[in-house]
Structure 1
Amino acid sequence: MKGLLYKDWLLIRKMGLQFMIPVVVGIIVLYSEDDKLFFMTYTSMVGLFSIISTISYDEYDNGMPMLLSLPYTRQDYVRSKYLFAVITIVTLLIFEVGLITSMATFKNIEEFSFTDNFLEILSTLVVSSAMCWILLPIYLKYGVKKAMIAMMVVGGLLFGGIMGVLYLIKEFKLISLDQIQFLQNFLANDWNVFFLFILVIAGMMGISYYISSRIMQKREY
């Protein structure tokens, strides 16, 4: 599996200029306008979508059958993508925390809170990684050409499902005021929020990995 990870790293390094430009733009915006949200969202999405791009390269010019002819199983291929995603998430977390903290120190921002900024960055990565966990099975199932249509369908279903749940909660008052108060008190603790984010990332990744594994076992190339 090391060979598959190294292959993905070489692909990302080959496309280095394409990913350096967005990072530089994000840094400029962060320094000039102090727009942390744009910087965190921009760099997180670019970094995690680079994982999806490696699947496009793998399938280019009938490359997937060649990869599967090597001494790697389909399970190894799926495992390498998710391991690469975890490495990317950790790298983005360290990079964004380090850069924002350094920028705040350089600009002498007195109201800067390391914990608050860490949780903001982690929450952005949770949302970005959620998109990644959704897209990976879609790309593995339908390939690059059909993935865009499948993404629109899945996105529409998710949006409709979320809006439906929110409507039911509001219409039938499924959550009481005491439960809302308990949730607010729970989320007021930074450590509770931190572990909740970790559980969300791990849970979505586990479900996505299971679906991707099943897809790869059945897909024909």
Structure 2
Amino acid sequence: MVNLIWKDILIQKRQIPIYLGIIILCFWEDGVPLWWLAFITSISFIMNAFYYDEKDNINILLNSLPYTRKQIVISKYLGALVFTGLFIGVIMGGGFIINGMELSFSWKDILHTFGLIMAFLSIIFPFFYKFKQQYLMIGAMVLFVVAVFAFRIVMQIFNEQFDKVFQWLASLPELQLYSFTALVILLLYSASWLLSMRIYERKVF
């Protein structure tokens, strides 16, 4: 399992200096939230891992090794959390060394970053296992166009249906709100993992 996660790091070793360069440059730009920087770099790293697996037919190699498909899927989901933690650590350490920004990345920012990444990956991971990269790009462009034209209608329906839910969430104490949100994200992440595992087990290479 550890070797599968380490593989995703080694396969992008040439891109790691680019990530570090982007992080350093963003330290000099005012108005760039560190949690957003951690989100973007982590998501890019994780999505590139999928890209290289498909580009170099690594999935075929992995399935010839003594790893079960369940272990391969689990390594992606656990690896996403490991990579996020590493990027957060690098950003916090770099911010402290360069600008003394140790207090600008609070524990709330860390929770927000992990929560956003887990929620985002819960949605897109099953699609990565189901479809090829070129189909995902076409689908993303179509979805973007539809979202632009349907934005007002969706937001109107969303506001009408979920206004009471938002009011209820806003009334919760902070600890209960974070606990509720964490539970929802964990359930979503777990459901996504089970779905991805089901899709991958049936996939033919």
Fold conserved between structures, TM > 0.5: yes
What residue is the counterpart of 2:18 in the other structure?
18
Residue 118 of structure 2, aligned match among 102, 119, 129: 129
Distance in 2 between residues matched to 1:57 and 1:121, nearest whole Å: 28
Assess, with a 3 A threshold, how the Cα gap between structure 1 residues 68 and 161 changes in structure 2: closer, same or farther.
Answer: farther
What residue is the counterpart of 1:195 in the other structure?
179
Assess, with a 3 A threshold, how the Cα gap between structure 1 residues 166 and 219 changes in structure 2: closer, same or farther.
Answer: farther
Residue 204 of structure 1, aligned match among 184, 188, 199: 188
Q: How far off is 1:69 after superposition?
A: 0.7
Alignment of 1:67-86 (within 5 A): 67-86=62-81
Distance in 2 between residues matched to 1:24 and 1:220, nearest whole Å: 42
Cα displacement string for residues 59-96 of structure 1 (whole angstroms, at most 9, x for unaligned residues)? 22433212211111111110110010111233344444
What residue is the counterpart of 2:136 in the other structure?
147
Find out whether 1:40 has 2:35 as its counterpart: yes
Greater CA radius of gyration, 1 or 2?
1
Bigger mean CA deviation after superposition, 149-158 or 13-22: 149-158
Find out whether 1:185 has 2:175 as its counterpart: no
Unaligned 5+ segments in structure 2 are none
Cα displacement string for residues 102-140 of structure 1 (whole angstroms, at most 9, x for unaligned residues)? 48x9479xxx687xx321342244223322222222121
Assess, with a 3 A threshold, how the Cα gap between structure 1 residues 119 and 218 changes in structure 2: closer, same or farther.
Answer: same
Contact 2:53/2:59 (<8 A) preserved? yes
What residue is the counterpart of 2:4 in the other structure?
4
Aligned residue for 2:67, secondary structure, equals coil
Aligned residue for 1:13, secondary structure, equals coil
Cα RMSD for the two superposed structures: 3.5
Aligned residue for 2:131, secondary structure, equals helix
Distance in 2 between residues matched to 1:162 and 1:99, nearest whole Å: 41
Give the letter for the 1:208 counterpart. Answer: S
State percent identity of aligned pairs. 23
Q: TM-score w.r.t. structure 2 length? A: 0.78
Q: TM-score w.r.t. structure 1 length? A: 0.73
Cα displacement string for residues 32-85 of structure 1 (whole angstroms, at most 9, x for unaligned residues)? x2x252x32133211222112112111224332122111111111101100101
Alignment of 1:96-175 (within 5 A): 96=91, 102=96, 106=100, 117-152=106-141, 164=154, 167=157, 170=160, 175=164
What residue is the counterpart of 1:56 in the other structure?
51
Paired residues, what number? Answer: 204
Contact 1:44/1:128 (<8 A) preserved? yes
Contact 1:52/1:135 (<8 A) preserved? no
Aligned residue for 2:21, secondary structure, equals helix
Aligned residue for 1:70, secondary structure, equals coil
Distance in 2 between residues matched to 1:217 and 1:67, nearest whole Å: 13
Unaligned 5+ segments in structure 1 are none
